[in-house]
A = this chain, B = another copy of it.
Amino acid sequence: MNIKDVSAQTGLPAKTIRYYEDIGLIRPSRSANGYRVFQETHIHKLAFLGRARTLGFSIEDCRTLLALYEDDSRASADVKAVAEEHLSQIGEKIAQLEAMRDTLRTLVQSCAGDARPDCPILTDLARG
């Protein structure tokens, strides 16, 4: 199967698939003309990667998860540890963003938003 079909089946852009090969996440073989040849296992792996990325796992996490996925003698504890770590990072990010949102929302609400220059948003940014 050629890259365009794989792209269609996995929903990943061809560029991304090539990139994933570049960084060693997949190793498709090549046909005589130099084209990449993908098998079912590649489709599976790429779909796996796509979903892991959707859940926000870093590429390095993805590499780890893929290795665990392929290791029949893995311990589920190892998978869980990766996921929990990621989960806690997501929690931190959400907390940060919520703090920003709360502050910003207050500021936006207090701003008249008219033609006059007076603006509590700027005042706050300039304040201490």
Please report A residues at the B interface, Cβ cutoff 8 Å.
Answer: 44, 47-48, 51-52, 54-56, 65, 68-69, 71-77, 79-81, 83-84, 86-87, 90-91, 93-94, 97-98, 100-101, 103-105, 107-108, 111-119, 121-122, 124-126, 128
Q: Are A74 and B126 in contact (CB under 8 A)?
A: no
Q: How far is the CA of A47 from the CA of B126 in the complex (A)?
A: 7
Instruction: Give the interface SS of chain A, mostly helix, strand, loop or mixed.
Output: helix
Q: Is the CB of A111 within 8 A of B83?
A: yes
The reply to whether B108 and A84 form a contact with Cβ atoms under 8 Å apart is yes
In the assembled complex, the CB of A114 is this many whole angstroms from the nearest CB of chain B, namely: 6
List 5 other contacts, CB 8 Å, given A44-B126, A90-B101.
Answer: A51-B125, A56-B100, A76-B117, A83-B111, A87-B105
- Which listed residue, B56, B83, B100, B112, touches A76 by the CB 8 Å rule? B112
Q: Which of B48, B54, B119 contacts A74 (CB 8 A)?
A: B119
Bound-state CA distance A106–B97 (Å) is 22
